[in-house]
Amino acid sequence: MASWPPPAERTLIGKPIKRLDGPVKSRGAAKYTYDIIRPGMLYARLLNSPHPHARVRSIDLSAAQKLPGVRAAIALKDTANPDTSKVFYQGEEVAAVAATTEEIAADALRLIKVEWEVLPHLASVEQAERPEAPQVFPKGNVTQPAMQQEGDAEAALKASAHVVEGLYTTQVQTHTSLETHGGICEWDGDNLTAWVSTQAVHGTRNGVAKALGIPQTNMRVLTDYMGGGFGSKLGGDVQVVIAARLAKAAGAPVKLMLDRKEEHLIVGNRPSAYAQVKAGVDAQGKLTAIDAETWGTGGAGQGAGFPFPYQVYPFPARRRRHRDIYINAGPQRAFRAPGHPQSCFITEIVMDELADRLRLDPLEFRLRNLPPEQPNQMWGAYFKIGAEKIGWAKRHPTGDPASGPIKRGMGCAANRWAGAGSPQTRGECSIMPDGSVVTRIGTQDIGTGTRTLVAMITAETMGLPLEAVQAAIGDTNFPFAPGSGGSVTVSSVTSTVRHAAENARDELFKRVAASMNVDPATLVARNGRVHVASDPGKGLTWREACKQLGTTPITSPGEFQANLGTVGTSGVQFADVEVDIETGVTTVKRVVCVQDCGMIVDKLTAESQCIGGVIMGLGFALYENRILDRNTGHMVNPNMEWYLVPGMSDIPPIDVTLVDQPERGVVGIGEPPMISTAAAVGNAIANAIGVRVRSLPLTPEAVLNAIEREKRGGT
Amino acid sequence: MASKKRNEPGFSRRTFLKTVGAGGVAAGVLGPAEAAQGQAVGAAGPGAVPITLTINGRTHKLEVEPRVTLLDALRTRLDITGVKRVCDRGACGACTMIVDGKTIYSCSTLAIEAQGKAIRTIESFTQGTVLHPVQQAFCEHDGLMCGFCTPGFVVSAVALLERTPKPTREQAQKALDGNICRCGTYQRVLEAVLDPKASAGVKRG
């Protein structure tokens, strides 16, 4: 069983280590999938459905195929089959072409003749729920409600001293990864090599090989660098399957990368959430019960589940009825902490409203209602740290009493996430006779710094500087590691690498001990030397030791070590905002983030992860919204000028406190820092303007409407 | 048309977008520079035409259709891929280059328009394996995550520091407002750009 070195002996673990691929990325020399050009490579483009719901009667590729430069064209809908000839959302793939240039491929798309039978569509949950709505989905437009119940919520609400009631909503958010989905497929006989922008090289091989009907052993997936995924790139994407089919047809490598509009439409989003909530407290400020009707849409045939209430504050009695509503829009996919930001926003806004009814400070109210502290639920302690940092003592009760249109306010919210590793993770570490070291593991670096962690743990184990070891990742020829989702990667990878590196190092000790006349168990590897632990003088340099391997290198396997990781992170965030009640514009002045990740591996990149999560949370809070035209079902902002992700001037100072818990194992925090930001901002806005805005995004329009509603007698 | 003074006071992402919108129209008419060179832009194409681009001090001769953007010409014809295609319509800055001393969105500039101009890309900043001080600062401050937006940010930052060696926080934010990052590196990028070491080795334009 592997173990972490004692804290005092750690040379790299827990320190701020610069990411290894910083130089190659900042020079523009890192080759992403989008950048790779293979000899003789063709460029592919997709013909997408312009209709949100239609039957494809026929697809005529003949004119496109005759265009000079076009080398392959394929139909993606089986028009003879009534079940598979339909499209259910704008952008759905209908046909594809590969040509010598992308411009020719685009021309060829315009030559494809498609006969459509346009069918009635549903562009919103409201349309889908109308009794007269057309039956669009084979399973029905609305699922049977799922019930969850504990205790007698109805009775507990009746007995409550105060009850808050309202409708809370969150919008659809798109991932907007900067590198779009896609890949390059190249056949060599029956073998396929695919360079793919993916969060899961092994998952991609699994899905694509199955779709193509080829043995997985015949396929290799490579992802050296990738430009963001956030949950949308976890599987065997259809773009890769299409590129492989076109490559087969054309007899040449084919690159298919989606354009920005397609990226918004067809490769996933965070579903919307609606909750009609009734929540109560007793006169002492203890939560009594919550009763909620919830729904949402994950697009065409996809669920919109989210945990509710958010599992931080225990409500003794709970009742919830949830239904998924299908509309003719791109299907949802996992998106950074699926379900959590929605649930956190709704629950934390309700918490502040309850505190207001009690005339209690919302922080004090939260402290009264938190479960007992445990290493993975430290909200009480973190709320106190955050309150100190944001200056909570200066907070005024709801509604800034200052005169003038600029109102200031503060709010807070909590988060939780599991972040445990995957027991299936495997890796291997090789020590070569010339002293070079490489660890191979079939994970991928999605921007979190995984490559750096692999090298850090290897170097730490061998007692070598970081530059002396190599990290080989992003290749299905390397042992299995899970897809980078659920924040599982850091725990999966670090423990597996530690195990493999320890095994390789111990094998080296065995092979050199005889020449040193010592027991291998007495040896350690430190400061570039292999020596007797109690007598640093008695030993060899690393190179001398490795030379003893002769012509036979060491390759040792490693597997996930449950004792090196653990489960559960907790965190809190605070926001300090300014709202102009004449324009409705919110300016976030500062965000405080307190988060733990168990034992910190790389302090620098873990803090960056927190900052990045807050920034994406600000986008969810204030700007981002997939807007569908209610008549046409078309997304009206499938671009980056009207789908607003935060920019440099939108970002306030973000103060991160990363709590180290060196006695715990490693926990992933790719997702949790994004969860609480919108809720903290939402509560801060209400604290500033004295009016609740119960829906995201918190746009100027939403703020002004809420103020206006309040003037006319409340919600 | 995408060549706008992005570092000047009062220039924001919003005004940038407006000017890019206007650029789409202007690109179709004869510019004074082309007229002076006697190139009949209206008669070029629709097939591939020979063009000459001066990139990082080197002359490249290539044949592209007039509709090919400067971005695509570099990426798909010359294998110069540090510059990225992300939004492809002048909103995100991943394709930023410096043309005749000004930052431009190369996705919104035609390759034929860039003839006779001095084009600088991210690839020009590194001397051998020695990083440019701005690149070094990005690494030191962890001003990059997935790295896809990073070349665009570095180009914008170098352009800023060549013009304004000691930018204020607000000047730096404004200069980088035309670049979008999805991983959320803005705070680290800002720290990197404001690090005195970043501007110490920058040549003044």
ipTM at complex level: 0.97
pLDDT of A715: 52
Per-residue pLDDT of A497-521, as tens digits, reads 999 999 999 999 999 999 999 999 9
Give the closest of B121, B150, B186 to A615, CB-based. Answer: B186
- Six token digits for residue A556: 């040792």
Q: Are residues A681 and A698 in the same domain?
A: yes
Question: CA–CA separation, A639 vs A645, rounded Å?
Answer: 10
> Would you say residue A85 lies in a domain?
yes
CB atoms A641 and B67 under 8 Å: no
The answer to whether residues A262 and A91 touch, using CB atoms and an 8 Å cutoff, is: yes
3-state secondary structure of A276: strand
CB atoms A615 and B85 under 8 Å: no
> Would you say residue A432 lies in a domain?
yes
Strands A535-541 and A529-532, how do they pair? antiparallel
> Would you say residue A12 lies in a domain?
no
Type of residue found at A163? V
Nearest CA in chain A to B189: A648
Q: At what angle do helices B186-194 and B133-140 cross, to 10 degrees?
A: 130
pLDDT reading at B40 higher than 60: no
pLDDT reading at A143 higher than 90: yes
450-509 in chain A: CB under 8 A from chain B? none
CB atoms B147 and A29 under 8 Å: no
Which of A17, A19, A26, A67 to mutate: most B Cβ within 10 Å? A26
Please list every residue in chain B whose beta carbon sits closer than 8 Å to the beta carbon of residue A177: 182
Question: CA–CA separation, A241 vs A589, rounded Å?
Answer: 46
Please list every residue in chain A whose beta carbon sits closer than 8 Å to the beta carbon of residue B142: 18-19, 22, 604-605, 607-608
Q: Are residues A361 and A449 in the same domain?
A: no
Of A564, A598, A632, which residue constitutes the final position of a domain?
Answer: A564
> Would you say residue A307 lies in a domain?
no
Question: CA–CA separation, A234 vs A386, rounded Å?
Answer: 34
120-159 in chain B: CB under 8 A from chain A? 121-123, 125-126, 131, 135, 138-140, 142-151, 154
Q: Are residues A587 and A601 in the same domain?
A: yes
In the beta sheet, which residues pair with residue A291? A278, A319
Question: CA–CA separation, A260 vs A264, rounded Å?
Answer: 6
Per-residue pLDDT of A576-589, as tens digits, reads 999 999 999 999 99
Calculate the dihedral angle through the C-alpha atoms of B119, B122, B128, B129, rounding to the nearest 10 degrees: 180
> Angle at the Cα of A235 (from A232 to A236), degrees rounded to 5?
125
pLDDT reading at A272 higher than 90: yes
CB of A604 less than 8 A from some CB of B: yes
pLDDT reading at B16 higher than 60: no
CB of B9 less than 8 A from some CB of A: no
- Six token digits for residue A213: 């009907």
Nearest Cα neighbor of A568 from A711, A708, A433, A417 is A417
**Fold classification of B133-200 (topology level):** DNA polymerase; domain 1 (1.10.150)
Q: Are residues A558 and A585 in the same domain?
A: no
Question: CA–CA separation, A350 vs B87, rounded Å?
Answer: 38
CB atoms B173 and A649 under 8 Å: yes
The answer to whether residues A672 and A415 touch, using CB atoms and an 8 Å cutoff, is: yes
Helix (H) or strand (E) holding A503: helix A489-516
- Is pLDDT larger for residue A213 or for residue B26? A213
Nearest Cα neighbor of A306 from A276, A278, A346 is A346
Q: Are residues A687 and A550 in the same domain?
A: no
Nearest Cα neighbor of B96 from B175, B186, B191 is B175
> Would you say residue A180 lies in a domain?
no
Which of A24, A27, A335, A616 to mutate: most B Cβ within 10 Å? A27
CB of A232 less than 8 A from some CB of B: no
Question: CA–CA separation, A230 vs A223, rounded Å?
Answer: 16
CATH architecture of structural domain B13-123: Roll (3.10)
Give the closest of A228, A611, A641 to B146, CB-based. Answer: A228
Name the minimum distance, in Å, from the CA of A266 to any CA of chain B.
16
Of A564, A599, A624, which residue constitutes the final position of a domain?
Answer: A564
Number of domains in chain A: 3
pLDDT of A180: 98
Q: In degrees rounded to 5, what are phi and psi of residue A35?
A: -95, -15
Tell me the torsion sign for CA atoms A671, A677, A678, A680.
positive
Listed by start position, the domains of chain B span 13-123, 133-200
CB contacts < 8 A (A, B)? 168
Q: What is the pTM of this model?
A: 0.94
In the beta sheet, which residues pair with residue A75? A95
> Would you say residue A279 lies in a domain?
no
pLDDT of B14: 45
Give the closest of A23, A605, A647 to B177, CB-based. Answer: A647
- Six token digits for residue A211: 């779709």
Per-residue pLDDT of A25-54, as tens digits, reads 999 999 999 999 999 999 999 999 999 999
- For residue A381, name the pLDDT band (cuts at 50, 70, 90): very high
Q: In degrees rounded to 5, what are phi and psi of residue A159?
A: -85, -5
pLDDT of B33: 45
pLDDT reading at B30 higher than 90: no
- Six token digits for residue A401: 């009493």
Q: Are residues A75 and A189 in the same domain?
A: yes
Least confident of A187-191, A251-255, A711-715: A711-715
Name the minimum distance, in Å, from the CA of B109 to any CA of chain A.
16
Q: Are residues A537 and A609 in the same domain?
A: no
Question: CA–CA separation, B171 vs A314, rounded Å?
Answer: 47
Question: CA–CA separation, A342 vs A306, rounded Å?
Answer: 7
Q: Round the average pLDDT of chain B to a whole number and report it.
A: 85
> Would you say residue A8 lies in a domain?
no
pLDDT of A713: 80
Residue range A481-486: average pLDDT?
Answer: 97
Q: Are residues A415 and A522 in the same domain?
A: no
User: Which domain covers residue A542, as residue numbers?
Assistant: 423-564
Question: CA–CA separation, B115 vs B51, rounded Å?
Answer: 7
pLDDT of A628: 98
Which of B183, B189, B191 to mutate: most A Cβ within 10 Å? B183
CB atoms A178 and B190 under 8 Å: no
CB of B93 less than 8 A from some CB of A: no
In the beta sheet, which residues pair with residue A114? A59
Least confident of A136-140, A671-675, A710-714: A710-714
pLDDT of B203: 74
pLDDT reading at B148 higher than 90: yes
Q: At what angle do helices B186-194 and B150-163 cross, to 10 degrees?
A: 30
- Greatest extent of chain A over all pairs of C-alpha atoms, in Å: 90
CB of A654 less than 8 A from some CB of B: yes
Q: Are residues A703 and A684 in the same domain?
A: yes
pLDDT reading at A422 higher than 90: yes
Q: At what angle do helices A362-369 and A340-358 cross, to 10 degrees?
A: 110
Of A257, A287, A309, which residue constitutes the final position of a domain?
Answer: A257
Task: Please count the other Cβ atoms lying within 10 Å of the Cβ belonging to residue A374.
Answer: 9
pLDDT reading at A556 higher than 90: yes
3-state secondary structure of B63: strand
Supply the CATH number for residue A501's domain: 3.30.365.10
Q: Are residues A459 and A494 in the same domain?
A: yes
Per-residue pLDDT of A274-292, as tens digits, reads 999 999 999 999 999 999 9
Q: Round the average pLDDT of chain A to a whole number and report it.
A: 97
Q: Are residues A428 and A413 in the same domain?
A: no
CB atoms B183 and A612 under 8 Å: yes
Q: State the residue for tokens 């996933």.
A: A268
Calculate the dihedral angle through the C-alpha atoms of A467, A497, A571, A445, rounding to the nearest 10 degrees: 60
170-229 in chain A: CB under 8 A from chain B? 176-179, 225-228
Residue range A426-435: average pLDDT?
Answer: 98
Residue range A683-709: average pLDDT?
Answer: 97
pLDDT reading at A191 higher than 90: yes
